[in-house]
Chain A
Amino acid sequence: GAGVSQTPSNKVTEKGKYVELRCDPISGHTALYWYRQSLGQGPEFLIYFQGTGAADDSGLPNDRFFAVRPEGSVSTLKIQRTERGDSAVYLCASSLTGDRVETQYFGPGTRLLVL
């Protein structure tokens, strides 16, 4: 079946602009995760949704970052007043609730470049 999809695949914006990144999880997966990966680093956790609600948003770096999942499926990560330091690959993953230890399945990522 279809995996996790993310759009756009690439996004170039200017410092100070607002961006939205979209994630479509695997059908039937109730848990959804956002990570970001800077060059030469491992992924860094941002936020985790269980259904429509954010179960853990401890990784959001500041209040410029916000994520929603209004219908418990598609999620949007929103970044306000972008800064050059926000440039990274933003990864989305989903998992099937009910597994003893859920495996997170990742999308291809959105590469964000802030000029």
Chain B
Amino acid sequence: AQSVAQPEDQVNVAEGNPLTVKCTYSVSGNPYLFWYVQYPNRGLQFLLKYITGDNLVKGSYGFEAEFNKSQTSFHLKKPSALVSDSALYFCAVRLNAGNNRKLIWGLGTSLAVNP
């Protein structure tokens, strides 16, 4: 079955430190990969996506993600965390097949950045 795993329910980092939120996937073929962020009482906001090419993708708010095909991972990173980055982060994949547009989601990782 196609699935996305976010192995950490919660990540805690100190402000100014680098952060990593992990994502691994189990899907067939070469999927497209996405990261979204969800703030309390607000909708999901798109951060970045991987389609093809350079394994390091840069996105909104200083976030970036590294695609690793051999490890089937797409970890989200930021060099220096801000308190305002505290939110719920979701990884999602889309199968690269025909007219498919369905996103398959992880369970989310809660990021807490401490001042």
Residues of A within 8 A of B (CB): 3-4, 31, 33, 35, 40-45, 48, 50, 55-56, 58-59, 91, 93, 95, 100-109
- Give min CB distance, B16 to chain A, whole Å: 29
Q: How many residues on the B side are at the interface (Cβ–Cβ under 8 A)?
A: 25
Chain B, residue nearest A109 (CB): B43
Residues of B within 8 A of A3 (CB): 43
- Given A42-B105, A43-B92, A108-B42, 4 more A-B residue pairs with CB atoms under 8 Å apart are A41-B108, A45-B102, A45-B103, A55-B99
Asked if residues A43 and B43 are in contact (CB atoms below 8 Å), the reply is: no
- Give min CB distance, B7 to chain A, whole Å: 14
Asked if residues B46 and A105 are in contact (CB atoms below 8 Å), the reply is: yes
- Give min CB distance, A88 to chain B, whole Å: 14
Given the known A-B contacts A91-B44, A106-B43, A109-B43, are A43 and B103 also in contact in the complex, defined by CB atoms under 8 Å? Answer: yes
Question: 24 A-B Cβ contacts within 8 A?
Answer: A3-B43, A4-B43, A31-B101, A33-B101, A35-B103, A40-B107, A41-B108, A42-B4, A42-B92, A42-B105, A43-B103, A43-B105, A48-B102, A56-B99, A91-B43, A91-B44, A100-B51, A101-B32, A102-B101, A103-B46, A104-B103, A106-B45, A106-B46, A108-B43
- Give min CB distance, B106 to chain A, whole Å: 5
CB of B100 closer than 8 Å to a CB of A: yes
**A50-B98 Cα distance, complex, nearest whole Å:** 14
Residue from the set B32, B94, B103 with the largest chain A CB neighbour count within 10 Å: B103
CB of B90 closer than 8 Å to a CB of A: yes
Asked if residues B51 and A101 are in contact (CB atoms below 8 Å), the reply is: yes
Which of A45, A102, A107 contacts B43, CB < 8 Å?
A: A107
Residues of B within 8 A of A59 (CB): 102
Chain B, residue nearest A31 (CB): B101
CB of B49 closer than 8 Å to a CB of A: yes
Proximity string of chain B (11-47) to chain A, C-beta cutoff 8 Å, 1 when within and 0 when not = 0000000000000000000001010100001111110
